[in-house]
Amino acid sequence: MSDLHTIPLIPQFPLYRVGEEFARVRAAAPLVHCLSNEVVQSITANVLLALGASPAMIVAEEEVAEFAAMADALLINVGTLYPARLLAMQKAVTAANAAHTPWVLDPVAAGVLAYRTDALHDLLLQKPAVIRGNASEIMALAGESASGKGVDSTASSVLAIAAAQRLALQTGAIVAVTGEADYVSDGVSTWAIPWGHVLMTRVVGTGCALSAVVAAFVAGAPDKLVAVAAACAVMAIAGERAESACDGPGTFLPAFLDALYIMQPAMLKAVDE
Ligand SMILES: Nc1ncnc2c1ncn2[C@@H]1O[C@H](COP(=O)(O)OP(=O)(O)O)[C@@H](O)[C@H]1O
Ligand SMILES: Cc1ncsc1CCOP(=O)(O)O
């Protein structure tokens, strides 16, 4: 585990680049094939729609390969994993790789349960473009003896920076570790995304929806590291704005969707200049 005294200084991702990436995604309106968990389907689809992307939850073993090849990006989230779903995921990933469709892995509760942890290690061999998880999940995948509290992290993201960098080098994926601040790394360069609000952890699915947004941003991206950092920033900034317009978790969710919908790429540029 990293030691607080050895945490490197990580540069903050510039807001003007968030604006540029957001403009690219809004213009492209990417089609995102989501094989997510059964808890977060609705918030995931709504977040993608509010942003301007097109979600499709195509999950049947008979259909996933065909759809992964026509989508702009694929999301694999193991939150509610069972054998039939895992088989569909493996077929979707194989087809995505053959069609050069980038895919994102959300390793929900990695390290907590043996079945999903074994499945995740197999999926890692299939070259995800991005891995997005909380600190416990990223540390577990990087080989540390970390374990979350079910689907939640028991560690701070700042303590998982080294694990994220190592996992990126091991897999060739961009790794995003999220929490109080988000850190995005390709193993060589690392960006910090300092925005967000703790209320985002009091409604289910913000992390899972973020992984879907990461998939939307990575579709056709000229620079995947920049795309993933921008995706994290857009969600975190929307979280801050929603918090100031709500009373608690019940009103946070609609305020969050509104914040994503209202957000304009040009506004993000202007704040930084
Ligand atoms: N303590 C916090 N303060 C501010 N933002 C947070 C905090 N915890 C999580 N977030 C934000 O919530 C979103 C989901 O992250 P996280 O809770 O780490 O994912 P997961 O749901 O997979 O555990 C991210 O955009 C992150 O920036
Ligand atoms: C509660 C729960 N149980 C299995 S998957 C899941 C959703 C986790 O969503 P998130 O980590 O984004 O809050």
| Distance between Cα 225 and ligand 1 center (Å) | 19
Cβ contacts of 145 within 8 Å, gap of 6 or more: none
**What is this model's ipTM?**
0.98
Q: Which residues are annotated as a binding site?
A: 57, 132, 178, 205
Residue 16: how many other CB atoms lie within 10 Å = 14
- DSSP code, position 33: E
132 DSSP assignment: E
Nearest CA to ligand 2 atom 8: 205
The DSSP code sequence of 194-228 is: ----GGGGSSTTHHHHHHHHHHHHHTT-S-HHHHH
Q: Is 134 in the pocket of ligand 2 (CB under 6 A)?
A: no
Residue 159: DSSP 8-state: G
The Cα 65–Cα 239 span in angstroms is 34
Please tell me the predicted confidence (pLDDT) of residue 269: 67
Task: Give the pLDDT band of residue 270 (cuts 50, 70, 90).
Answer: low
Q: Identify the residues whose C-beta falls under 6 Å from ligand 1.
A: 134, 152-153, 178-180, 182, 196-198, 200-201, 206-207, 210, 232, 235-236, 239
Rg of the chain on CA atoms, in Å: 17
Tell me if 2 sits within 8 A of 160, measured CB to CB.
Answer: yes
**Identity of the amino acid at 185:** S
Q: Is 109 in the pocket of ligand 2 (CB under 6 A)?
A: no
pLDDT per residue as tens digits for the range 97-132:
999 999 999 999 999 999 999 999 999 999 999 999
Name the pLDDT band for 236 (thresholds 50, 70, 90).
very high
Domains of the chain and CATH, by start: 9-265 (3.40.1190.20)
pLDDT of residue 1: 37
> What's the chain's average pLDDT?
95
Amino acid making up residue 89: M
Which residue among 37, 116, 137 is best mutated to probe the pocket of ligand 2, counting the most ligand atoms within 8 A of its Cβ?
Answer: 37
DSSP one-letter code for 51: H
pLDDT tens column, 130-154: 999 999 999 999 999 877 999 999 9
* Atom number, ligand 2, closest to the C-alpha of residue 77: 5
Average pLDDT over residues 236-252: 97
